[in-house]
Chains A and B, each alone.
Chain A
C-alpha cells in the first residue's frame, strides 16, 4: 500500500483507476471533465487514454475490451451530450451483462438542478440500464465510490455501473491512499439440497440437452459443463451469447439454437426430456412461443441471478448460484450413463441439418464466412454488428478460444461493431476482425478515424447487399414484400471512404479475390476495409418465425 497524498479529485480519480488495474480508458474530453483529462496528461505513462470519434464508440470499445478480456472496461465522457452519447453503449453492456464502469463529468454541485449548460441528470437517465449508479457529491467519497463501482461491475451477474462526478469534486483536494484492486464478491454454489434435487432429476433423464449462455463465459465454467455433458451423455447448444465458450468442433456441440439457430440444436432442444440451462435466460429469441417451447422437457436452471429463475420459463429446479461451483458439487451426484437412442436421434438431426445447409457455389453468405474462417487464428477476436451478417457469423464462424466472439445479443445494437472491434484489439493485442453490413457500418463508421489514428489492426468485412437485409427478410416473409425504407440505394464507395479516413481497402467480386483480400488485410497493420457484395435476397435460415414453435421452423424459402 502506498503512502497517503493530498490530491485533487481529478488526480484521485485517475490514481484510483490505475490502482484498480485499469491500463486503458476509452473516452472523449469536454468542459466538465477537463480536470480529469489534465490528470490523464499527468499520468500518461501509467494509463493510456484512447480518444474515439464519438462517445458511443468509446462505450462500445470499453464493452469490446471487457468482453474479450473479462476485465472491467472503462469509458470516460463529459457531461450533457457526452454522457447521453454513452447511453446506447451502456444499455448494450447491460443487456449482455458486461462489466463496465462509465465515468461522466457534470456541472459543479452548486449548479446541479438549474439546467445549466451541458447539464443532464445522467444518473436518472441511466437508472434502468445500469446495475447501479452513483452521483459523487463530495471528494472524500470519490475513491471509495469508484472502488465500489469496480467491485459491483464484476460481482455476481456482471454489468455496467456509472459514476457521475461534478466539476467541483474534481477540483477539490482530499487525502488519497492507494488500495489494492477490489475483488468481486465471493462466489457461492447453489444450496446443497437444491443441487441434490436437480441431480435426482438429471439421473432420470433419457434425452438431456445442455443449453448455455453468456453466464458460462462470465463464470468460466466451460470445463465443468463439458465434464457434466460427458458424464450424463448430453448434447450441448447455446444462445448467441454463449458462442466461443467451447470449441465449435467439440463433438457434443450442436451450435446456437433459437430463432436463427442451427437446425439440429434447436430440434434437439425441442425434443429433449431434460434441459439444463447454464447462465442463460430463455429470451424470446431462444424460445419462440413459450407455451409450445420444449413440451416434453423438465428444466433445471442454474444462474447466478435468482431473478432469472422461472422469469420466462417455469423451471422444475431453479438453482441460484455460481455455475462453476454449483457444477463442481453437482458432478459427483449424477450417474455416468450412455443414451444411445438419444445420440442416434441427434445424429439424424445433424444429417438433416447437413441436407438443408446452403451448398451453393459463389459469393453466398456461408461461403464468405467460410473463407474468413480459413484466415482466423485461434486467438482472433471477431466482432459483428447487428443483422443478417451477425446471424451468418454466429452460424458459420468457428472458434477455438473463449471470448473471441463480440456481438450485441440482448440489445441488438446496430453500429456497435467497429467500436467493439477496436476495444477487442486493445484488449487482446490481436489482429481483430469486424464482420458488418452496409447498414450497420453506416451507423458508426466514424470510428475508422480512431482505428487509423492508433493503427488498430482490424479486418473490416462489409457484407454489402445494399439493403437492410434482416428487416427486408421479414418484409419478404411477413409483409407482402413491402420493402418500406429498407432499400438503401446509397452511393457510398466504401473503399474510397477507407482511403479518405487514411485506411486501406479493396472491393472483391468473387471468393478468390476475397481470399486474397483477407491475406492482404491481415498483412496490414491498420484497419483494412473489404467491400464484398452479396445478393440482397439472401435469407438467414433456418428461421423460427416470431412467436412460432419448432413446428413452424422455416428451412427453405422460395419453393
Chain B
C-alpha cells in the first residue's frame, strides 16, 4: 500500500468536480483527500487527489481520469521532487490550566493564533500533512472543539508545469 498524490488539470466548467467524483464513486476508488481550486488561467481548475493503494490501482485511477473529456492533464507527485502544503484551522478550548502549554506547542509548530476568545483559541497552521497530523495529535491531550483541514496541494520543484504534461 502506497500513498499517491495526483494533480488533475480540468476544464473550468460547471459540474466538472461532479464528473470526477462520480467516476471515483462508481468505480469505488477510495480517496483520502481532494481539493479543487482555480488556477493561473480561468480556463482551468486544478484538482489534487490523495489516495492509498497499489500501483495497479493508481494506474487504473489515472487511466479512468484520462477518459473524462474535461480532464486536460494529470501529474503524479513524489515527495522528493515536489513541494506540498496543507492548511489546518483548529479550535481549542481556552482553559487557564492548559493555556500556556497549548500556546507553547503552537509556537513550536509555527501555528499562528488567528482568533482568541475567552473560551476558545483558533490556530492556523500551513505545513505538510505529516506535520499537521503531528500537531493535531499533540493537541489531543487537550480539548479540541473543532478541526478543519483542506487536504494537501502540490507543485513540482523547478520550472516544469502540469500544463506541459501530454496525455499519456
Taking Cβ atoms with an 8 Å cutoff, the residues of A that contact B are 123-124, 127-128, 131-132, 135, 137, 152, 305-307, 309-311, 314, 320
Contacts and interface: CB of A to CB of B under 8 A. Distances in A.
Contacts of B60: 307, 310-311
A131 B23 CA distance: 11
Nearest to B64: A307
A307 B63 contact: yes
Nearest to B61: A307
A376 B131 CA distance: 73
A135 B22 contact: no
Nearest to B168: A306
B26 A123 contact: no
Contacts of B64: 307
A135 B15 CA distance: 10
Given A307-B64, A307-B67, A309-B63, 17 more contacts: A123-B15, A124-B18, A127-B19, A127-B22, A128-B26, A131-B67, A131-B69, A132-B68, A132-B69, A132-B70, A135-B14, A137-B14, A307-B60, A307-B63, A307-B66, A310-B56, A320-B168
A48 to B, nearest CB: 30
Nearest to B22: A127
Contacts of A310: 56, 59-60
A127 B21 CA distance: 11
A124 B56 CA distance: 29
A127 B18 contact: yes
Closest 4 A/B residue pairs (Cβ): A307-B63, A132-B69, A128-B26, A306-B63
Nearest to A320: B168
Dominant SS among interface residues on chain B: helix
Nearest to A131: B69
Contacts of B68: 132
Nearest to A161: B69
A132 B71 CA distance: 11
A195 to B, nearest CB: 16
A128 B22 contact: yes
A305 B68 CA distance: 12
B100 to A, nearest CB: 52
A123 B56 CA distance: 31
A132 B66 CA distance: 12
Contacts of B15: 123, 135
A307 B66 CA distance: 9
A306 B66 contact: yes
B132 to A, nearest CB: 33
A152 B23 CA distance: 18
A310 B69 CA distance: 22
Contacts of A131: 67, 69
A152 B69 contact: yes
Interface in B1-39: 14-15, 18-19, 22-23, 26
A466 B23 CA distance: 41
Interface string B74-114: 00000000000000000000000000000000000000000
A97 to B, nearest CB: 12
A320 B67 CA distance: 13
Contacts of A123: 15
A320 B63 CA distance: 11
Nearest to A148: B69
Given A127-B22, A320-B168, A305 B69 contact: no
Contacts of B26: 128
A242 to B, nearest CB: 22
Nearest to A137: B14
B57 to A, nearest CB: 11
Nearest to A156: B67
A326 to B, nearest CB: 15
Contacts of A128: 22-23, 26
B54 to A, nearest CB: 12
A460 to B, nearest CB: 36
A128 B22 CA distance: 7
Interface string B157-168: 000000000001
A456 B154 CA distance: 60
20 contacts: A123-B15, A127-B18, A127-B19, A128-B22, A128-B23, A131-B67, A132-B69, A135-B14, A135-B15, A137-B14, A152-B69, A306-B63, A306-B66, A306-B168, A307-B60, A307-B64, A307-B67, A309-B63, A310-B60, A320-B168
Nearest to A308: B63
Contacts of B18: 124, 127
A305 B168 CA distance: 11
Contacts of A320: 168
Nearest to A305: B67
A124 B25 CA distance: 14
Nearest to B167: A306
